[in-house]
């Protein structure tokens, strides 16, 4: 479903259900909070051509081309971008928190400044153009207001920034390409820089529904080069423009035991590629490779694919088409793996013969699917929140699993929402329903007055273990009802939606027709779960990667101020035994995990005033 239709349906929905639930923008970016800021660039001046399409995997713009890092590079906020990945401008800073200067008057927010570029050998006759694509709002929850704007500045020889282009805020539009000619001699020098920036404002602080606004803009496909004209709007490039990162039908994660029993056979692999050229072109040797815990288990070449001029190709390949013996999906999955596994998918192609390889950056996709003991239908990145605000309001989320099993608990990602977490403590009743037709039916489990917990980090869902295990059929509903009438908000993934999955009830059940709430049911054998306390007050941030880990884990500690002295690291296994203990002298450490048994570990890092815990899965 496209976004316009989403919005239309949503307005309809809000109209009907008034104020018991509402969608809202997020006041922070957990992905950035979790990520260590990159080191600043050591490059002097860079040469033309300058090309950037944000198709890499980093959340910050590349230090090979950019001087600052307030924009969020991502694959989830752009609506139909020219190529995969966009830079999102909003009201959130580089560390993932709302700008302190944010207010009801539009203020300068994110900046994206190029490194110095050497234009000293060019002049007006070289036809130097800067082109880029931009889009207001995208898949973000709110549009920039008319008084907000996206602007472009050029820096001249004297170091002055001149405004050369700007556009005022509006609702979602398709990406639009802009061409700016560089003609003035004041710009032809060694050290020329250009800068995009947005001006953003908050809504009315007294109005709960309106208080958080992000004023989203997306920017993509920036090219600065010579011998161009404004009429030459096409690019000799075929690019991935979307990745839905699915390996097993609609499941983003499947309990490993369920996968092993079912060997899901309807697996598909999606290829979404766009030809940005004015002539039709082909890609050859389109390939896919699948590894399980680092071992190759499947690969296939999909051959040559033609893409029309300025056209797109969206292909779903089923395993039957991909594997050499149809009907027999990945055959060499080791049988003895314990309770968790990681699949890694690599999709790529060779662009038609071109001597211009700068456009090859968008020809490869790579993603991981972790299978442990839970189902996931969300992609792990929240684009908005759903606030539940009226007493007795219920949210039910359908889990269409592969087999009956024992439900042990729910992982739920809750958002901080306005004063949530500081003023009133919200409570919820955790509920499990049978299905009746398409809707939630009889309630088969209810646990009352659970405190809403806010967890830190990207994938750091708060885990709610059921007091009693519940035997559930393959399809059931989980969710909650509001217990004490205080505001709380569940994170919502706008990039995935399945019809007939999410329902809301004040009086009667009605379907929520966009996105998916970030709730994951844990099934199977009982397992020990180490709860991770809130760390909002910690003086430092912790990044642990890769996770799950195979051979070596890297731990990085970052802080707004100086790193606290006297820091210690300790690692525990699930039995609570300490297996590693160190004093930390450096912000970066690597630890070999080769001798560890498969399973879940807890990393604890503490200084005098703060302690941070992080779960680590060894596979
Ligand atoms: Ca892109
Ligand atoms: Ca930002
Ligand atoms: Ca390409
Ligand atoms: Ca998402």
Residue 595 lies in a domain: yes
Report how far ligand 1's centroid is from the alpha carbon of 72 (Å).
Answer: 12
CATH of the domain at 250: 2.60.40
Q: Of the candidates 472, 492, 523, which is a domain's last residue?
A: 523
Report how far ligand 3's centroid is from the alpha carbon of 153 (Å).
Answer: 28
Is residue 218 within 8 Å of residue 77, measured between CB atoms? yes
pLDDT averaged over every residue in the chain: 83
Confidence band for 24, pLDDT divided at 50, 70 and 90 = confident
Helix (H) or strand (E) holding 240: strand 238-242
Whether residue 71 is found in the same domain as residue 219: yes
Report how far ligand 4's centroid is from the alpha carbon of 149 (Å).
Answer: 25
Ligand closest to Cα of 491 equals 4
Q: Of the candidates 337, 371, 405, which is a domain's last residue?
A: 371
Report how far ligand 2's centroid is from the alpha carbon of 94 (Å).
Answer: 6
Report how far ligand 3's centroid is from the alpha carbon of 250 (Å).
Answer: 27
Report how far ligand 1's centroid is from the alpha carbon of 74 (Å).
Answer: 9
Overall size of the chain counted in residues: 619
| pLDDT for res 199 | 96
Ligand closest to Cα of 94 equals 2
Whether residue 54 is found in the same domain as residue 195: yes
Q: Could you give the angle at the alpha carbon of 57 between the alpha carbons of 51 and 61, nearest 5°?
A: 50
| pLDDT for res 574 | 67
CA–CA distances in Å: residue 557 to residues 200, 561, 562 = 31, 12, 11
Whether residue 274 is found in the same domain as residue 413: no
**What is the extent of the structural domain holding 552?**
541-618
Report how far ligand 4's centroid is from the alpha carbon of 39 (Å).
Answer: 27
Report how far ligand 4's centroid is from the alpha carbon of 503 (Å).
Answer: 19
- Is the confidence at residue 90, as pLDDT, over 90? yes
CATH of the domain at 406: 2.60.120
Whether residue 221 is found in the same domain as residue 242: no
CA distance 540 to 557: 7
Whether residue 207 is found in the same domain as residue 137: yes
Ligand closest to Cα of 214 equals 2
Report how far ligand 1's centroid is from the alpha carbon of 78 (Å).
Answer: 9
Whether residue 341 is found in the same domain as residue 465: no
**Quick count: other Cβ atoms within 10 Å of Cβ 162?**
12
Ligand closest to Cα of 492 equals 4
Report how far ligand 1's centroid is from the alpha carbon of 241 (Å).
Answer: 7
pLDDT tens digits, residue range 218-254?
Answer: 999 999 999 999 898 999 999 999 987 887 778 899 9
For residue 329, give the nearest of 301, 290, 379, 375 by alpha carbon: 290
- Is the confidence at residue 609, as pLDDT, over 50? yes
| pLDDT for res 325 | 47
CA distance 581 to 571: 7
Residue 231 lies in a domain: no
Whether residue 194 is found in the same domain as residue 249: no
Whether residue 43 is found in the same domain as residue 173: yes
Whether residue 476 is found in the same domain as residue 586: no
Residue 14 lies in a domain: no
Six token digits for residue 277: 């050229």
Residue 28 lies in a domain: no
- Is the confidence at residue 258, as pLDDT, over 80? yes
CA distance 229 to 239: 22
- Is the confidence at residue 419, as pLDDT, over 70? no
**Quick count: other Cβ atoms within 10 Å of Cβ 561?**
7
Whether residue 331 is found in the same domain as residue 440: no
Report how far ligand 3's centroid is from the alpha carbon of 240 (Å).
Answer: 7
Report how far ligand 3's centroid is from the alpha carbon of 241 (Å).
Answer: 10
Q: Could you give the angle at the alpha carbon of 519 between the alpha carbons of 517 and 522, nearest 5°?
A: 160
Residue 472 lies in a domain: yes
- Assign 3-state DSSP to the chain and report helix, strand, coil percentages, each to 5: 5, 45, 50
From the centroid of its chain, how far is CA 470? 32
Report how far ligand 4's centroid is from the alpha carbon of 467 (Å).
Answer: 30
Number of domains present in the structure of the chain: 4
Whether residue 176 is found in the same domain as residue 249: no
Whether residue 81 is found in the same domain as residue 191: yes
Helix (H) or strand (E) holding 351: strand 341-351
The percentage of the chain sitting over the pLDDT mark of 90, rounded to a whole number, equals 46
Q: Of the candidates 348, 371, 394, which is a domain's last residue?
A: 371
Collapsing DSSP to helix, strand or coil, 526 comes out as coil
């Amino acid at each position: 479903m496209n976004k316009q239709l989403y919005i239309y349906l949503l307005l309809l929905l809000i109209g009907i259900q008034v104020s018991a639930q509402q969608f809202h923008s997020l006041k922070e970016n957990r992905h950035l909070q979790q990520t260590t800021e990159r080191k600043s660039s050591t490059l002097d001046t860079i040469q033309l051509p300058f090309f950037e399409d944000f198709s890499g995997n980093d959340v910050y713009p590349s230090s090979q081309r950019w001087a600052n890092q307030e924009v969020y590079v991502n694959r989830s906020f752009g609506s139909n971008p020219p190529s995969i990945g966009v830079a999102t401008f909003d009201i959130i800073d580089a560390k993932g928190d709302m700008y302190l200067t944010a207010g009801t008057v539009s203020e300068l927010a994110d900046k994206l400044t190029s490194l110095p570029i050497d234009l000293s050998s060019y002049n007006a006759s070289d036809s130097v153009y800067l082109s880029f694509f931009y889009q207001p709002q995208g898949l973000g929850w709110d549009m920039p207001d008319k008084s907000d704007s996206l602007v472009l500045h050029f820096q001249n020889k004297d170091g002055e920034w001149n405004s050369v282009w700007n556009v005022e805020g509006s609702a979602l539009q398709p990406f639009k390409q802009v061409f700016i000619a560089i003609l003035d001699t004041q710009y032809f020098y060694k050290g020329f820089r250009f800068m995009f920036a947005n001006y953003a404002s908050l809504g009315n602080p007294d109005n709960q529904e309106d208080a958080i606004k992000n004023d989203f803009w997306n920017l993509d496909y920036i090219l600065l080069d010579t011998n161009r004209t404004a009429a030459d709007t096409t690019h000799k490039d075929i690019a991935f423009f979307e990745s839905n990162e699915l390996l097993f039908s609609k499941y983003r994660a499947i309990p490993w035991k369920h996968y092993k029993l079912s060997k899901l056979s309807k697996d598909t692999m999606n290829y979404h590629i766009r030809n940005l050229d004015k002539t039709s072109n082909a890609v050859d040797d389109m390939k896919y490779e699948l590894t399980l815990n680092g071992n190759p288990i499947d690969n296939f070449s999909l051959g040559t694919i033609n893409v029309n001029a300025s056209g797109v190709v969206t292909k779903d390949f089923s395993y039957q088409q991909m594997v050499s013996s149809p009907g027999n999906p990945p055959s060499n999955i080791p049988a003895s793996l314990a309770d968790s596994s990681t699949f890694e998918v690599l999709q790529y192609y060779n662009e038609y013969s071109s001597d211009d390889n700068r456009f090859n950056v968008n020809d490869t996709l790579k993603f991981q699917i972790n299978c442990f003991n839970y189902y996931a239908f969300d992609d792990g990145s929240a684009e908005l929140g759903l606030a539940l605000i009226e007493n007795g309001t219920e949210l039910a989320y359908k889990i269409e699993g592969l087999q009956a099993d024992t439900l042990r608990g729910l992982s739920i990602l809750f958002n901080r929402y306005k004063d949530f977490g500081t003023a009133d403590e919200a409570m919820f009743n955790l509920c499990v329903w049978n299905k009746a037709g398409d809707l939630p039916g009889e309630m088969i489990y209810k646990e009352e007055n659970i405190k809403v917990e806010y967890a830190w980090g990207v994938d750091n869902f708060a885990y709610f273990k059921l007091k009693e295990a519940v035997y559930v059929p393959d399809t059931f509903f989980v969710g909650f009802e509001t217990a004490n009438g205080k505001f709380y908000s569940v994170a919502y993934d706008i990039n995935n939606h399945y019809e007939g999955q999410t329902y809301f009830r004040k009086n009667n059940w009605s379907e929520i027709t966009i996105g998916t709430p970030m709730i994951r049911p844990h099934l199977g054998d009982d397992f020990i779960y180490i709860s991770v306390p809130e760390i909002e007050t910690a003086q430092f941030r912790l990044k642990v990667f890769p996770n799950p880990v195979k051979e070596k884990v890297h731990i990085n500690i970052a802080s707004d101020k100086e790193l606290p002295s006297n820091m210690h690291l300790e690692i525990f296994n699930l039995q609570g035994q300490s297996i590693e203990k160190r004093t930390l002298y450096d912000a970066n450490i690597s630890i070999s995990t080769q001798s560890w048994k498969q399973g879940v570990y807890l990393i604890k890092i503490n200084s005098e005033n703060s302690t941070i815990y992080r779960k680590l899965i060894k596979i």
